[in-house]
Amino acid sequence: MLEQIRSTVSYIRSRTDFVPEVGIILGTGLGGLVENIDVKAAIDYKDIPNFPVSTVEGHQGRLIFGVLGGRKVVAMQGRFHFYEGYTPQQVVFPVRVMKFLGIGCLFVSNASGGVNPGYHTGDLMVITDHINLIPNPLIGPNIAELGPRFPDMHDAYDPALIAKADAIAAQEGIALQHGCYVGGTGPTYETQSEYGYFRAIGGDAVGMSTTPEVIAARHMGLPVFGVSVITNVGLSEEKSSHEEVQAEGVKAAKRMTKLFIEMIKNL
């Protein structure tokens, strides 16, 4: 894997000399944040050696380099999922590459179903912890150059970044929830019994991504900040469709974009 990472980084650097400080992963319906980036370079995933290709509607499939909030960023406009048939190691490969490109922290976002009965469709949930039900991307031989065999996950989501988000949200009038994200394999939306199970084990929201990328980031020592957009409330009579998830994501994206910009500006 290390050789593949270095090969991919070499290719990207042949396309742009831009060195990012912050990595951003944009979830379903949340790619609009890119409109606020002063884009310096954009590379399609299909052109990047060793990169998977996003197959999900609502994921553009581009690596964007530019300036956001006065900081140099690299944004994944679309991510990869275990349910697409990729291995967990392939899913997190872009996070590895972004680290080698120079990022010092990672911002992640996703569209998720709310399992906390106090949540409402359109809420923004700051992720304070997670429960990973997707095969762990660190299974297999450990590569010491990437990180330790047994990385600590005590503060998987950086407390200082969460505190910064709370302060900015209070200043900007952005309502935030705080909770635990459950990462499941998908691609089915959850049954009512599954939603009840996720709630019983401590989850506040559930989705089909994010936890593998966060595990890989923490393995490499990257601080992480994460936000879930609650696109439906699972413990209700609402039924979910991918189109509805995208639509609710777009509605909430403006508030999430404002939060991300202000946080990146104040890093």
What is the tens place of the pLDDT at every residue in 73-115?
999 998 999 999 999 999 999 999 999 999 999 999 999 999 9
> Where residue 151 falls among pLDDT bands split at 50, 70, 90?
very high
> What backbone phi and psi angles, to 5 degrees, belong to 70?
80, 5
d(CA 128, CA 217): 15
Tally the domains of the chain: 1
pLDDT at residue 236 in the model: 62
Residue 239 in this model has a pLDDT that exceeds 80 = no
pLDDT at residue 237 in the model: 62
Extract the tokens encoding 132. Answer: 């990973």
The per-residue b/e assignment along 62-85, b for 16 or more CB within 10 angstroms, e otherwise, is bbbbbbbbebbbbbbbbbbbbbbe
Residue 167's SS3 state is: helix
Residue 250 in this model has a pLDDT that exceeds 80 = no
Please provide the average confidence, as pLDDT, over all residues in the chain. 92
Work out the average pLDDT over 190-215. Answer: 96
pLDDT > 90: what percent of the chain?
A: 81
Q: For the chain, how many helices (H) and strands (E)?
A: 6, 9
> Where residue 134 falls among pLDDT bands split at 50, 70, 90?
very high
Work out the average pLDDT over 113-135. Answer: 95
What does the chain come to in residues? Answer: 267
Residue 253 in this model has a pLDDT that exceeds 90 = no
The count of C-alpha atoms lying within 13 angstroms of the C-alpha of 239, restricted to the half-sphere facing its C-beta, is 0
Q: At CB < 8 A and 24+ separation, what contacts does 191-194 make?
A: 192/234, 192/235
pLDDT at residue 24 in the model: 97
Q: What is the CATH number of the domain that holds 168?
A: 3.40.50.1580
Higher pLDDT, residue 48 or 55? 48
Indicate if the alpha-carbon torsion angle 159, 79, 240, 133 is positive or negative.
Answer: negative
Query: Residue 11: enclosing H or E segment and its boundaries?
Result: helix 2-15
Cα 245 from chain centre: 16
| Range of the structural domain that residue 82 is part of | 2-265
